[in-house]
Each structure stands twice: as structure tokens, then as C-alpha cells.
Amino acid sequence: MRKNLVLDKLKKGKPSLGTWIEIGHPEVPEILGNFGLDWFVIDMEHSVHSVERAQVLMQAMATSATLPFVRVPWNDIVMIKRVLDIGAYGVMIPMVNTKEEAVKAVRACRYPQKGGLRGTGPRRANNYGFDNEYFSKVDDELLVAVQIETETAIENLEDILSVDGIDVAFVGPWDLSMSLGVFQQFDHPKLRKALDTVLDRTKTAGVAPGVFSSIDKMNEYIATGFLFNALASDTELLIYGYREALKKIRGWEPIPSAPAVPMLKE
């Protein structure tokens, strides 16, 4: 098992940069792996990826040093176990709203030797049995991120972050802004206050704050102290790249039936 250099960065207070993998073709992470990003999150919550597809995407990442993380569909011990067994170096658990849910997430990621509930049967994670050091290393090298996406999570944040084993508290601004009643108003005082709360509470707890960001707001988030930072997604980067390229083409108009370019997510 490789050393988790992302954890090293976060512990030193250095920003870490990655992106979401939503497109299911292995050439996408294989190509993006050439840019030197710290990590990719393979999104199983809102994308179509199965466990089998997630493994294929991880295998495509083997040519780069970028680490594979997975956002599981839910705080479910069976799904967490399966993505860890195929080689994820980190797990992101959505909609963690209480201390009890945080405890459940951490225990699903840890083996009993560290107080967890994870079953002992890794496949690709320990190179099919050829990595004899896996069991002694994994509990120290695995990154556990919980998503803070609701007003309830903000209210319970201090209790959530008191759970030992959480490395990242990751904000989803779309879900959080909706929960706060200010959907897509990413500069609204209510959302900004919630983000400040995340920054303050994570600093006190020694947990890295993270955020999903558009290209335009990434520098702002880094400047305010966010460390585990998702630079949009492969889908959005594709849209952004083509949009910026087409702006430079003179004398061309899109076909009449073409939809308007969507706003990129924060």
C-alpha cells in the first residue's frame, strides 16, 4: 500500500486539490492523471458507477501518483467495505448529520484492530494477497471524509468532529445552500456563515475542511482556509473547456436546437 500523501499534506495544513470523476470511461482518469492532481473522487452517489466500474477507473489511475478516493452512495457498511476492498485510499460519506452517523462511518472504514467493523477480505486493496503489510498500514493511510451538507449537520458539527478517525469535513455548497433556504446563492450571508462555522470548528478539532468548488471560486476557498478542495468534475471541466474554446471561434453560431450552456456547479 502506497503512503497517503494527501493525508500528509492535510496534516501540514497544505491545500490538496482533486476532482470528481463522473464519466464512466477509464480514459478520463487516465488522461487527467497527467496533470498531477492529488486525488480523484469516483462518485457513486450521483453518477452511474457500479463497484465494478469504480475498480476499472482505479486501474486506469495506476499510471499516475494520483490517489483514488470514492464517494459511496450512502453511509452503508457493505458499500464502504466493497470500495475499500477494491483499493480506495479514501472514502467520502454523504449526508453525515449527527455524531452517531459519524461513528458509524468511521467504524465501517476501520478493521477491528482499530475498533472498527470492516470485514477481513481485501482483494485488489492488498494486491490479491501479495502485499503482506496492508493490514498493518491501512488504518493509518486511509482517509475518511464526512460530508457536511445540511443545516442539521452545521448545528451538530462540534459533536460530529469529536469522533476520532475523521480526517476531512467536506462541504457540498449545493446541498447546504438548499438546506439553508438559499439554493444556489453561493455568496449569501447564511451560506457564508455556515462555511465560516466549518472553518472554525475544523480548526479547533484538527480536521481538514474541504469544499466542492467551481473553477472561478477555487482560489477564494483556498485563501479562506479550505484544504481538501474539489475542482469541479470531469463533466464540468469538459463543458468549461469547450465553452472557453468556442468563445474564441469567430463567425460561428451554435445550431438552433443547441441548449444553453449550463451554469457550472459551485
C-beta of residue 168 within 8 angstroms of C-beta of residue 10: yes
C-beta of residue 90 within 8 angstroms of C-beta of residue 80: no
Q: How many CB atoms lie within 10 A of CB 96?
A: 28
> SS3 of 232, please?
strand
Catalytic residue among 25, 46, 49, 188: 46
Q: How many CB atoms lie within 10 A of CB 24?
A: 15
The secondary structure of 78-143 as a DSSP string is HHHHHHHHTT-SEEEES---SHHHHHHHHHHHS-GGGT----S--SGGGGGGT-TTHHHHHHHH-E
C-beta of residue 228 within 8 angstroms of C-beta of residue 9: no
**Distance in angstroms (rounded) separating the CA atoms of residues 211 and 201:** 15
Length of the chain: 266
205 burial level (CB within 10 Å; 0-12, 13-18, 19+) = middle
Question: What's the DSSP call for residue 112?
Answer: G
**Is 46 among the catalytic positions?**
yes
Of 54, 60, 8, nearest in space to 33 by CA: 60
Catalytic residue ranges? 46
